[in-house]
Amino acid sequence: MKPNGTSLKLNGEMNSVEIDELIGDEHIFTSLETPMRSDAFEKTEDEKIKIIAHHFEKIMDTMGLDLTDDSLKGTPMRVAKMYVKEIFSGLNPENKPVVALFDNKYRYEEMLVEKNITVQSFCEHHFVPIIGHAHVAYISSGKVIGLSKINRTVQYFAKRPQVQERLTIQIAEELKKMLETEDIAVIIDARHMCVSLRGVKDHAGSTVTSSYHGAFKKEAVRNEFFKYLD
């Protein structure tokens, strides 16, 4: 049975449409990598914008909106540009932050925590916002990066259709590579508009996910991290 009580069975088995709906409604993710086709970057951004605008115009027209109205006639192009250039710009690897590593010359060997990093992403199941904050910590292995690069890394992976669990892991794995250390921790606390605007329509709940590596697998180290988040 679906959560709302609707049967998922058709002739005793789930059909493909019901399976797809269940995966989306239950917020299940199927891969650690963002699902991308091999030809994802054969079209230019301008070509993608033109195609998206065309199809979004069809969506608006299907819903009965008057596209000759001055307020609406530019909407398909605005949406297309927003998708490609802004809210889904993290799909393009050319937008990945360029990071320079520096020697930890001041020999700061304690935990570094960057907290309350803004997370603005979109649920890949319903294409509505995920809004919250990320808290990131690392212990230097001899190298450091500029603080803004941590924020930019969070934003890069957030600016694509996402599932929060995958987003959390992707940020942690990227920071491990960037900082050349296993001692990384990432926590994301976010609200999902697909939960508050539709379905259960819970406006108060939030989702917390975490990814701990290296020294952060030790309870004492994690507890120190938690202390800084209070």
The catalytic residue positions are 123-126, 164, 192, 194
Helix ranges restricted to H, the chain: 16-25, 45-62, 75-81, 147-158, 164-179, 193-196, 219-229
- With tokens 């988040």, the residue in question is 229
- Reading the block at residue 11, the tokens are 């002739």
Tell me the three state secondary structure of residue 111: strand
C-beta of residue 174 within 8 angstroms of C-beta of residue 134: no
> What b/e readout covers 158-191, taking b as 16+ CB neighbours within 10 angstroms?
bbbbbbbbbbbbbbbbbbbebbebebbbbbbbbb
Kindly tell me the burial class for residue 154, based on how many C-beta atoms sit within 10 Å of its own C-beta (0-12, 13-18, 19 or more). Answer: buried
Kindly tell me the burial class for residue 32, based on how many C-beta atoms sit within 10 Å of its own C-beta (0-12, 13-18, 19 or more). Answer: exposed
Secondary structure element (H or E) that encloses residue 161, with its range? strand 161-162
